[in-house]
Amino acid sequence: MCPSILFSLVSFIFATLSSADLSLSPYRVHESRTRAPAGWSITRRQDATSTIPLRFALKQRNIEAIGTFLYDVSHPRSPNYGKHWTTGDIARKFAPGDETIDTVRGWLIASGIGEDRVVLGNTGGWLRVDATIEEAEQLMNTEYNVYTHTSGKEHVACEVYHLPEHVQPHVDFVTPSVHFDAKLNRRSSSGGAASLHRIGQPGVGITPTTTDTVSEIIQDLERCDEYITPLCLRALYGLSYNPVATDKNSYGIVEYTPQAYLTSDLHLFAQNYSTDLIGKEPYVISIDGGYVQITNQSFSYNAESDLDLQYSMSLVTGAQTVTLYQTGDVPESASFNNFLDALDGSYCTFEGGDDPTADGIYPDPLPGGYTVKPAYCTEYAKLGLMGVTVLFSSGDHGVAGQGSLCLNPDGSQSTDGKVFNPTFPGTCPYVTSIGGTMMQSNTTVYEPEVACMRQIYSGGGFSNYFAMPDYQKDVVELYLKDSRPYYPSDIWNSTGTSRGFPDISANAANYVIALNGQFHRVYGTSASSPVCGAILTMINDARLAIGKGPIGFINPTVGLS
């Protein structure tokens, strides 16, 4: 990903609603969930005197048209192609209106919350109230319980909450409520690889898979079907570009603590496969206490970060600085929310900056639980409006979700489920989803690749949630006409009207990385994503060098190819 920090400051005039208006407004269900996510169960009621940081996400103006705005600056045939927006443009177009702020604030005050306790963040996107459980339950006609995960992690949530009818149109969602904080970064009491696999992952994390160590240094192209190195990738994709506009360009990689790269591994890789990186390090930006920890070292802790940085830095060369957004601390880890918090204050900052009492609460990505996928998607669209290209791996389990889980008819997940389970955020139409390819055995770098089916299966399919964006309609129609999957129509979204993914792909098999002082061979779309990011960064460099702007959101261009 190539993120850019956004700062938006908006102020509004407060007003209050009368208690008479409040009494005439019946309560309606605002959000609910049918079940707790897998592994979670209710253990007790939350103490009524304890305090929670209630956050009311206010409806943004014009948000329903964000796709139109994004395509206007992203489609090559648009007269406004490349005319990306500024931070101020974003704030002015999408900030909640006075009526929205006044309505929600007035309801809270009329409900007995002291005026001084209702705080509007500088971004204007949220209202916050530090409330007792008793107050929160009365405000929203709900019950808060403590849920316990099999790992021992506890989380406070409710199954349903209500808002007054006149307030509902002005609130997107409330946290904490039905959403689940799934930062399962600690080992369960039973230990084992399954719990370690999720270390540092923001709910739907994708980590590489390994098969063996590599005892020799691979310096030729003849064995690229067995061992992928930077040399192989340059030959596969014709990468022979030396960046010249590095002071104007940026390439960002996001990692979630406690996953972290090791300097010794980066140096070992540089000495053997990318000598122009010798002595180089990424530029680290800490988000919510994130730091490059070195206390815990193993494949689970270091493989993802080592892979991302060794290949992204190698392919953009030592001349281009790579920015590492290290997100979350060791005790709490982090989520997509924390990262978006740092990028766009209108999404989840509460005073124009991070709030350690509230950060980390993010929606459960699993079926059966409410999610705020539209909120995620629109924030990525905002980044695209500003000329930022956002990439996500498509997943390593084919048509299954993370952990090889498929859906059951009741919406639950299991390894023996029969219904395809497309992964988020790759299904969001405003990000670029990156799939995986591989070289077939006994082929050369000059022959076509195929979809990766070695150790991992490149994620892909059709969303069960998002409609098909305009930029995909022609290619998907052709695909369904000429190559329609033969699977029964009741186990995948066969309507021909939903978002298809991935958008582009790159090699995802047999990568040689330096890890914990040795060389390992790894697989995954977590390899193909930074490679695509590096290629797009070089395209940006070429454009910037001749006075053009960054490519930004690339999917409409991809749809034309």
Q: Is the N-terminal amide bond of 425 cis, ω within 30° of 0? A: yes
Q: How many other CB atoms sit within 10 Å of the CB of residue 495?
A: 11
Place of tokens 């001349």: 319
Residues sharing a CB contact under 8 Å with residue 80, sequence separation 6 or more, in sequence order: 72, 73
187 touches 151 (CB < 8 A): yes
304 is known as an active-site residue: yes
Q: In whole angstroms, what is the distance from residue 101 CA to residue 508 CA? A: 47
Dihedral pair phi/psi, residue 195, rounded to 5°: -75, -35
Q: In whole angstroms, what is the distance from residue 160 CA to residue 36 CA? A: 12
Strands 511-515 and 51-58: unpaired
Q: Residue 363: name the closest of 254, 498, 499, 202 by CA.
A: 202
Structural tokens at position 173:
């969602």
Q: In whole angstroms, what is the distance from residue 463 CA to residue 216 CA? A: 43
Place of tokens 């800490």: 286
Q: Print burial letters for 435-461: b (CB count within 10 Å at least 16), e (below 16).
A: bbbbbeeeeebeeebeebebbbbbbbb
Q: Residue 242: name the closest of 545, 532, 511, 506 by CA.
A: 545
Q: Residue 369: name the closest of 30, 34, 31, 29 by CA.
A: 34
Q: Print burial letters for 94-125: b (CB count within 10 Å at least 16), e (below 16).
A: bbbbeebbbbbbbbbbbeebeeeebebbbbbb
Bridge partners for 132 per DSSP: 51
Q: How many other CB atoms sit within 10 Å of the CB of residue 222?
A: 9
Q: Residue 160: name the closest of 35, 296, 304 by CA.
A: 35
* Active-site pick, 31, 304, 355, 503: 304
308 is known as an active-site residue: yes
Structural tokens at position 20:
């008479």
E strand or H helix at 514, and its extent?
strand 511-515
Dihedral pair phi/psi, residue 120, rounded to 5°: -95, 125
Place of tokens 């299954």: 400
Question: Between the CA of residue 313 and those of 108, 275, 360, 521, what are the distances in Å?
Answer: 50, 11, 29, 18
Strands 171-175 and 51-58: antiparallel
* Active-site pick, 31, 225, 288, 308: 308
The identity of residue 153, as a single letter, is: K
* Active-site pick, 151, 526, 528, 529: 526
Q: In whole angstroms, what is the distance from residue 383 CA to residue 342 CA? A: 12
E strand or H helix at 436, and its extent?
strand 432-438
Q: How many other CB atoms sit within 10 Å of the CB of residue 269?
A: 25
Q: In whole angstroms, what is the distance from residue 17 CA to residue 210 CA? A: 60
DSSP state letter for 344 = B
Catalytic residues: 304, 308, 526
